[in-house]
Amino acid sequence: MVFCGGIWGLVPALAKTATEDGAHPFGLTWWQGIGGGAILLIILAIRRKRLPLDKVHLQLYVFCGLIGTIMPTLALFYAAEHISAGIMAMLMATVPIAAYILSLALRIDKFQVMRTLGIALGVLAVALLVLPGSETSITDPLWVLVALLVPLGYAIENVFVAIRSPRGTDATVLVCGMVLTGGLIMTPVMLATGTWYPITWPLSNAELSVLAIFVVNILSYGMFIALIFAAGPVLASMSGYFTVLTGILWGMALLGESHGLWFWVALVTMLAGMAMVHERKVERTVTVT
């Protein structure tokens, strides 16, 4: 959890650096899918593992490629131009809250008063970020809603992987299929819109950030899937504690960000809500031998 959340905390700061070069989110998202997928394919080849292409796996790749790769990555790059890395990192704390709401909706979890209060605190924290005079430097509060698509996509993916992933499939295989499928889906979109982002040598700070993001994603993503298998989607989402804290620190260290009183009040409120939404193990319903 510490490694998975801590390393992902770099992503908001890297995303802001990547967008400073004028790169379009479509082109950046394509790089995350194809670049990350290519590296994982090489790793699988070295380990002599194949990528399963049966119906169950393909359904998982497509769903998670759309919801767990394309949607949150696009939202991340679009929002990065308008809100601070610290706020984006804080909003990642809503992953376990969203996962619990989804689990309730799917009737794979039970209603509990304490966890529901945690949801309320999470909503309050987001409200504190967008209130007039909150000193969070958000030119348009709607970008906070866009940024919330990042944790929402991950929460949906968490629950889906937990209940529908093929039993016994290697985590690296699943991540490769999901990420690569997301890149393949984005390929015609990127070409049709002319949003290709070339990476040339010597690397600029923005280009280096693009490459660093998909390396970080691969490392954290693989560990995250392993956590879901071992402990359930909500506990795995608790790695977001470390994402929040390290994301804020990386933003301050790398980008010189500073935050006002309302930001820290919102952070404490969000972390308190996150702590109230604790884990309950969810059983997978699809078995592949």
Instruction: Determine the 3-state secondary structure of 107 from DSSP.
Output: coil
Query: Could you tell me if residue 117 is inside a domain?
Result: yes
Provide the pLDDT for residue 183: 94
Provide the pLDDT for residue 281: 45
Work out how many domains the chain is built from and give that number: 1
Provide the pLDDT for residue 237: 64
Spatial neighbors of 150 by CB under 8 A, at least 6 apart, are: 72, 75, 76, 79, 88, 91, 92
Say how far apart CA 91 and CA 126 lie, in whole Å: 8
Amino acid in position 210: V
* Residue found under tokens 């820290």: 264
Query: What's the whole-model pTM score?
Result: 0.83
Read off the tokens for 80. Answer: 């990065």
Say how far apart CA 273 and CA 130 lie, in whole Å: 18
For the chain, residues with pLDDT lower than 70 are 131-140, 232-238, 278-289
Query: Could you tell me if residue 282 is inside a domain?
Result: no
Query: Could you tell me if residue 285 is inside a domain?
Result: no
Q: What is the domain extent for residue 251? A: 2-192+201-276
Say how far apart CA 177 and CA 51 lie, in whole Å: 7
Query: Could you tell me if residue 287 is inside a domain?
Result: no
Provide the pLDDT for residue 287: 36
Read off the tokens for 287. Answer: 């078995």
Provide the pLDDT for residue 107: 77
Provide the pLDDT for residue 137: 54
* Residue found under tokens 């992987």: 161
Spatial neighbors of 114 by CB under 8 A, at least 6 apart, are: 276
